[in-house]
Structure 1
Amino acid sequence: MIKACVFDAYGTLFDVGAAARIAAGEPGAEGWAGKWPQIAADWRRKQLEYTWLRAVAGAHADFWRVTQDGLDWALENAGLSDTGLRSRLLQLYWDLAAFPEVPAMLVALAAQGQRLAILSNGSPGMLDGAVRSAGLGGVFEGLFSVESVGVFKPDRRVYELVGAGLKLAPQEVLFVSSNGWDACAGAAYGFATVWVNRDGAPRDRLFGSPQHVLSDLAALPGLVESL
């Protein structure tokens, strides 16, 4: 029986493409605005790659450092060196909006009696900021950060934070992530898992496989009710 729904944060609840998209629509952005999709995609890709590489190398740094490093790579790859733009994009990353369906989805899950939490690579400060800026303060019972164990996903010690924090067995948790590799790792750990495949990507060939796939989070309450 599922007793808690635990969400990845960035890309699952919070729209990580919003920072570049919003900045591209602001005055003075005309010279680079057409590059925003490339910048957003490169930023996210390098951010994730750096978490994996740091985890393998045992060279941990918090997610804010990795986020800045990923942006610096993305801007250089786009031929941009504007420090003002860099500062603006980083500022916007602290104010990411939730995807449109998220607030109603969380209300519906809470009405079903589900406990709600986040399990994220994000540092505690980043998660607090994201939850507040999205208007989701007071919704989550726990905001579990990898900083508690000093290594990024998909290290098993990260997924263990959920059971330690909520006092639940893995099979009592539905883990929800938009990252295919994260959903695979959560499934291998023992969670019931949902992959939110917003981009229609192929399933990752890894050491676990998510039991459920959704195109967004709107249908999640119905799925949970059926389990």
Structure 2
Amino acid sequence: MGHRLCVFDAYGTLFDVSAAARAAAAEPGRAALAERWPRLAEAWRLKQLQYSWLRAVTGAHTDFWRVTEDGLDWALEATGLDGDAELRARLLALYRELEAYPEVPGMLARLKAGGLGTAILSNGAPGMLAAAVESAGIGDRLDAVLSVEEVGVFKPARAVYDLVGARFGTAPDEVLFVSANGWDAAAAAGYGFDTVWVNRAGDPVDRLPWRPGTVRPDLTDIPRLAGV
């Protein structure tokens, strides 16, 4: 079957998760952050993901905003930047308005012009996702924004991928699923989606039972891979 629908992970895929720390570091009076923001951003993202996985396997679900706050608190302490309540609040405010990668608006427009459905499937809480989509100005290029809060468990639980078929009535092989997280693209391939791993960092493929169908360095080629 051909693709009827292109589904995207949000954080790290459409939205640059390093943008909050990078933007804050460029503001006046943030010399300490300017020296440490790359390490902070990396630790923040790593703990955000680790906490989502641990909560999924233990059944201790909370929404992704709480996981994002907890990951930031760990990263701030690890980089010696804890204790600055104003910095913490600023980073969280910027996270709600993350920059989209530059190729995102045009890529989504090409998919829509080609007649494909488009959606986000994300760990993000609905409020987080709504704020990011509005900030990036891409709401008119998406048919749905699906959050794991509908099923109360984080990726890569199969119940999350089930949300796509439930919403659109698609078979898995009619879906092109795109993620910048190698583990997410691999798990989605195991589910039955046609998958693209957006490997911006040039990382090795994860050693998992499944592999992403295609690997690309960014999102530019997604319309062609989707068949439009």
Pairwise same-fold verdict (TM > 0.5): yes
Q: Which one of 166, 169, 184 corresponds to residue 167 of structure 1?
A: 169
- Please list every run of at least 4 consecutive aligned residues from structure 1 whose deviation after the TM superposition is greater than 6 angstroms: none
Question: What's the TM-score once normalised by structure 2's chain length?
Answer: 0.98
**1:32 offset after TM fit, Å?**
2.5
For residues 130-166 of structure 1, the C-alpha deviation after alignment (integer angstroms, 9 at most, x for no partner) is 1000011222111110000000000000000000001
What residue is the counterpart of 1:51 in the other structure?
52
For residues 163-202 of structure 1, the C-alpha deviation after alignment (integer angstroms, 9 at most, x for no partner) is 0001100000000000000000000000000000000000
What residue is the counterpart of 2:21 in the other structure?
20
Q: Write the distance in 2 (CA, Å) between the matches of 1:224 and 1:123.
A: 27
Q: Write the distance in 2 (CA, Å) between the matches of 1:216 and 1:171.
A: 22
AA at the equivalent of 2:29: G
Q: Write the distance in 2 (CA, Å) between the matches of 1:95 and 1:57.
A: 30
User: Quick check: 2:15–2:98 contact (8 Å CA) kept in 1?
Assistant: yes
**1:68 offset after TM fit, Å?**
0.1
What residue is the counterpart of 1:199 in the other structure?
201
Aligned length: 226
**1:55 offset after TM fit, Å?**
0.5
Q: Write the distance in 2 (CA, Å) between the matches of 1:138 and 1:221.
A: 17
Counterparts of residues 169-188 of structure 1 (less than 5 Å):
169-188=171-190
Q: Write the distance in 1 (CA, Å) between the matches of 2:32 and 2:100.
A: 28
**1:19 offset after TM fit, Å?**
0.1
What residue is the counterpart of 1:99 in the other structure?
101
User: Quick check: 2:123–2:148 contact (8 Å CA) kept in 1?
Assistant: yes
Q: Write the distance in 2 (CA, Å) between the matches of 1:166 and 1:152.
A: 20
For residues 25-67 of structure 1, the C-alpha deviation after alignment (integer angstroms, 9 at most, x for no partner) is 0011012211000000000000000000000110001000000
Q: Write the distance in 1 (CA, Å) between the matches of 2:97 and 2:183.
A: 26
What residue is the counterpart of 1:210 in the other structure?
212
5+ residue gaps, structure 1: none
Counterparts of residues 125-164 of structure 1 (less than 5 Å):
125-164=127-166
**1:220 offset after TM fit, Å?**
1.2
User: Quick check: 2:3–2:227 contact (8 Å CA) kept in 1?
Assistant: no
Q: Write the distance in 1 (CA, Å) between the matches of 2:123 and 2:211.
A: 20
Question: What's the TM-score once normalised by structure 1's chain length?
Answer: 0.98
**1:213 offset after TM fit, Å?**
0.6
Q: Within the alignment, does 1:61 sit opposite 2:66 as a pair?
A: no
5+ residue gaps, structure 2: none
Q: Write the distance in 2 (CA, Å) between the matches of 1:101 and 1:148.
A: 29
AA at the equivalent of 2:68: T
AA at the equivalent of 2:160: V
**1:111 offset after TM fit, Å?**
1.1
AA at the equivalent of 1:111: A
SS of the residue 1:138 aligns to: helix
SS of the residue 2:139 aligns to: coil
